[in-house]
Amino acid sequence: MKLITTSDGSHSVFSEKFNADYHSKHGAIQESQHVFIKSGLHYFLQNNQTDTIRIFEMGFGTGLNAFLAFLEMQNNNVNVEYTAVEQFPLEREIYTSLNYAELLAVENCKSEFLKMHECEWNGFCTISSKFTLRKINAQLQTLNHDQKYHLVFFDAFAHSAQPELWEAEIFTSLYNTMEQGGILVTYSAKGQVRRNLQAAGFQVERIHGPPGKREMLRAIKPLSLHA
């Protein structure tokens, strides 16, 4: 693992094992805010009324998506139960060097960011009174989901690095563990990924992508089989 700096000044990590970056070189924070917060979390909250939102993330990675969701919900009267699966946790030397709190001007929340990385795996950890985090150290393919999710942040390595994570079977498993009306967002806009999501039963739309990408995908589990 190697720390790198992206175009908006925020850090990402390069994995030599997969020859892949954890975030867009065009801006890690910009990408995560656009794909997962604006197009996922904001969109869900604008269209649904709930006092608790359950989020599942494929790829905890740097913790950026979880941290942005935590910051976004601090002044929102909604409880967040956030579950993330990660097979290759970052070493302390890497995650303590990430500059997200500084760039976002939330240095007062740096302790919560570090707590996300340092809390025990495979159990729920209280990050704040309204945000709990569970990190699961496992492969997505072998994960047994034990709850229904409203929102899925699908942030696996690119299809070229881990094509097995983008198959229809993976999306079918996620579809089955989501609430009706649930939303999945991903930075990918590949035609095969879109077709695999559709094969799983999702209604899929191409929407405007983050900096450096023309499009991304948002997939919705219909409210009924006839929706």
Q: Is the residue at 68 inside a domain? A: yes
What is the domain-level CATH number for residue 98? 3.40.50.150
Full residue range of the structural domain in which residue 187 is found: 27-220
Q: Is the residue at 69 inside a domain? A: yes
Looking at per-residue pLDDT, the higher value among 169 and 223 belongs to 169
Q: Is the residue at 17 inside a domain? A: no
Number of folded domains that form the chain: 1
Report the mean per-residue pLDDT for the chain.
95
Give this prediction's pTM. 0.95
SS (H, E, C) the chain: CEEEECCCCCEEEEECCCCEECCCCCCHHHHHHHHHHHHHHHHHHHHCCCCEEEEEEECCCCCHHHHHHHHHCCCCCCEEEEEEECCCCCCHHHHCCCCHHHHCCCHHHHHHHHHHHHCCCCCEEEEECCEEEEEECCCHHHCCCCCCEEEEEECCCCCCCCHHHHCHHHHHHHHHCEEEEEEEEECCCCHHHHHHHHHHCCEEEEEECCCCCCEEEEEECCCCCCC
The pLDDT value recorded for residue 64 is 98
Q: Is the residue at 15 inside a domain? A: no
Q: Is the residue at 138 inside a domain? A: yes
Q: Is the residue at 144 inside a domain? A: yes
Q: Is the residue at 21 inside a domain? A: no
| Each residue's pLDDT tens digit, 50-78 | 999 999 999 999 999 999 999 999 988 89
Q: Is the residue at 10 inside a domain? A: no
pLDDT at 12 over 70: yes
